[in-house]
Structure 1
């Protein structure tokens, strides 16, 4: 354990309901994934306390719903400004609770600020359209238009891997659209959500609009999903949990972002040296714990050996260690169970494929791992590994590569590197995914773009403008001008 993490002090954290710190009868210790030290005591909410938070959110609907777009935007802009002044504090929280290397944690805070700025802008752009009723014979004498209204109370369940920015992708659009929220953050990363709630309190958000309820998914999550007063569920996490939410949600609107085993195609005309750094970032940033992490690479046989050699050498140069050390590239996975699972999958692959580098622990950290010759039915290929593990396979053509990419239960994003426009267009048309990234890794994301997938990767779209559309209801208004 490094000196940096040994300086951590444990705090007691309460629920935030109606702007108040609410104690619970039970608290759960929160441990650093890297050092194993206790970093906080987190309140474990009961179902009754979760219902209380929903009641508060219902009452606050009229406050935020009647607020002007200008005022909602101002609050979001204030939050972005406050967060900008607290970048180092916010990044340290992320690094402590998730073991994200501090350099990547600072980048996440920067994206979070940007997400709230986008949300402020979108708050001023929510509008409907005029309908030409006289285009129908029976529509003469009538005019009509649509308006978009807040959907109501939104239940948000967020993951551990981007504990501040993925909260922003739910909180920002919800406030922009005039909704209230009950937020349940991941059990391992509640500190980021509680911190953001305090930022919004300082920014002028009325009490009760954003309520943070920490605790287990079986208690808090189920209470949110099953309560009829909640109008929408927005969830980012595993397919099994997402499918369970969809089955229990009834007629509630749901947005589900459920992960992937994202793939990259490398064509024969690519200059390998120019893409190695991006591939390293795509595969190993945040220890591979990214929904669009580069997990599968299909390389044309003409450049396969060159790519594998240079990719492997670059992976070996990555620095492993304490997430609070600015020089660290890769740190611990979110839990020991996740580490053990990844090692089991690597062991399974080792019997049928080649481990080019990694595959073992160094000081409790899973080394960046590159596997070649892995069949599509191995877990490291067909399931979401969510670890610094990438499979690289040889193909004879882009067409073969596209078939391999599509041979998956997931379909979030995919990428292709090529200088052949015909191959690029073929890939954009034939890849069955939510987003195709040409001449970059599938891990590319900016916060204003539509983001979501097909198949087991989920339903609905995030990205601030598109999330606002999900979080509002369309109302039609018709005026009869020829009353007699």
Structure 2
């Protein structure tokens, strides 16, 4: 069997046990990987701690060129990496290829931001007492970063933690999701080709029950976690003196107002409720339609959902594949059944076949049903009709989550009002909440997390301002 090594302080290593990775679609074994021992985890953390000062002092050109190299090599290995993502995650190739393309951009953006990353100066002689004084303000990394990444974007969400860490000169220890470690290990191969110092990165595919020791280790002062809210907040509560960045879940809403382009809205919502099998923090889950266009919109939405191509994720035409596991699909099926028992109507889908859930549209769903109030993380949308834009915005804000929202309108006034009133980290006008450009600030409010990703935003989040005051200058 193919057994992958892990990456210990920049070099390949093997432990004393192995775990296998299987494809969610057909259950076949994709590969096995070696699991680090406790001693090897300790070695990785010690190496990150030991290299921290050297990493922070790395010249800008060294960091930038390393990041640019990774971007180029991901592009060169794009087909291989896309097939690897589909193999371990089950997402259709079309989405796997898109993820690889985004990872290329993420590292390229990081290289570009690294070259722009610089300090600033501030004259202090605005008051007589500070005559001859000048402040130089720079940003300094807190120290080594523990990056805990999820299964749904096993390459690009690792990139969003590794790239800004390297950009600011912070060593990074990656703990990938147990279901999808192979993409992160492949990224480790590419990172090992750079001139970064030993200890600058490790990729440690350890089971989740061994993550606590990494989280609690004082030599890793930053924890950057993407995943579920309960796990994220338990991490924050367990290490209150650390700098914790959380990108958590949501139940993203798409608002369709009476002046929307209904054909565009229906096609986008149908696709992006079901892309990645709904396993995206910003997949469309709640659809809030203004009453005057509700019937016409639904008449366009349901055919668009039915037209989606489901099945084998290795088929280039497939748009909706399986969930990451049969257990995940069984949970989603149970949530659908609970909603139906509480009075919801199934307008499309609602069935399960192994790890796959048919694209599902529900109506008349009680507000407290899990498929409406929680993050379903499956190909399920809940359609709600409201009488006005006021009611639509209130419905968006009724959630305890606040990651992103999409508003389909042609009104500039309504667009700015939505931006002003919606309690989310990002408002996407004229499109689904699932839109994300990798260089833009990305993150949520309320129970959708703290901190921001998006290269420069993440670089700022991993660093603190440090001020040096020069005295006795002639300005």
Which range, TM-score by smaller chain? over 0.9
Q: How does 1:167-246 map to 2 (within 5 A)?
A: 167-219=158-210, 221-246=211-236
Q: Distance in 2 between matches of 1:381 and 1:416?
A: 18
Contact 2:271 2:305 in 1 (8 A): no
Structure 1 match to 2:39: 48
Structure 2 match to 1:410: 401
Structure 2 match to 1:322: 312
> How many pairs align?
473
Q: Distance in 2 between matches of 1:319 and 1:417?
A: 25
Structure 2 match to 1:23: 14
Q: Distance in 2 between matches of 1:51 and 1:375?
A: 49
Note the aligned Cα RMSD (angstroms): 1.5
Give the alignment partner of residue 425 of structure 1, picking from 393, 412, 416: 416
SS in 1 for 2:225: strand
SS in 2 for 1:122: helix
Once the two structures are TM-superposed, the CA of residue 64 in structure 1 deviates from its matched residue by 2.6
Once the two structures are TM-superposed, the CA of residue 364 in structure 1 deviates from its matched residue by 4.2
- 1:255 equivalent to 2:245? Answer yes
- 1:399 equivalent to 2:402? Answer no
Mind listing any 5+ residue stretches in structure 1 that lack a counterpart? 1-9
SS in 2 for 1:228: coil
Structure 1 match to 2:146: 155
Structure 1 match to 2:454: 463
Kindly tell me: are residues 304 and 480 of structure 1, through their superposed partners in 2, closer, same or farther at Cα, counting changes over 3 Å? same
- 1:73 equivalent to 2:64? Answer yes
Contact 1:144 1:477 in 2 (8 A): yes
Q: How does 1:4-403 map to 2 (within 5 A)?
A: 10-219=1-210, 221-351=211-341, 352-362=343-353, 364-403=355-394
Contact 1:72 1:175 in 2 (8 A): yes
**Greater displacement, 42-51 / 320-329:** 42-51
Q: Distance in 1 between matches of 2:127 and 2:144?
A: 37
**Greater displacement, 149-158 / 37-46:** 37-46
Contact 1:134 1:140 in 2 (8 A): yes
Once the two structures are TM-superposed, the CA of residue 216 in structure 1 deviates from its matched residue by 1.4
**Greater displacement, 265-274 / 449-458:** 265-274
SS in 1 for 2:234: helix
Once the two structures are TM-superposed, the CA of residue 363 in structure 1 deviates from its matched residue by 5.8
Once the two structures are TM-superposed, the CA of residue 482 in structure 1 deviates from its matched residue by 7.4
Contact 2:325 2:355 in 1 (8 A): no
Contact 2:144 2:170 in 1 (8 A): yes
Mind listing any 5+ residue stretches in structure 2 that lack a counterpart? none
Contact 1:201 1:207 in 2 (8 A): no
SS in 1 for 2:298: helix
Structure 1 match to 2:435: 444
- Residue-by-residue CA offset, 1:347-373 (whole Å, 9 max, x unaligned): 011121110010102464210000011
Once the two structures are TM-superposed, the CA of residue 140 in structure 1 deviates from its matched residue by 2.2
SS in 1 for 2:283: coil
SS in 1 for 2:245: strand
Q: Distance in 2 between matches of 1:83 and 1:42?
A: 21
Q: Distance in 2 between matches of 1:299 and 1:88?
A: 39
Contact 2:305 2:359 in 1 (8 A): yes
Once the two structures are TM-superposed, the CA of residue 186 in structure 1 deviates from its matched residue by 0.4
Structure 2 match to 1:7: none
Once the two structures are TM-superposed, the CA of residue 341 in structure 1 deviates from its matched residue by 0.6
Q: Distance in 2 between matches of 1:126 and 1:80?
A: 19
Once the two structures are TM-superposed, the CA of residue 383 in structure 1 deviates from its matched residue by 0.1
Contact 2:62 2:195 in 1 (8 A): no
Structure-1-length-normalised TM-score = 0.95
- Residue-by-residue CA offset, 1:89-111 (whole Å, 9 max, x unaligned): 00011000000100110010000
Contact 2:246 2:449 in 1 (8 A): yes
Once the two structures are TM-superposed, the CA of residue 48 in structure 1 deviates from its matched residue by 3.3
- Residue-by-residue CA offset, 1:427-464 (whole Å, 9 max, x unaligned): 11111111111111110100000000001100000000
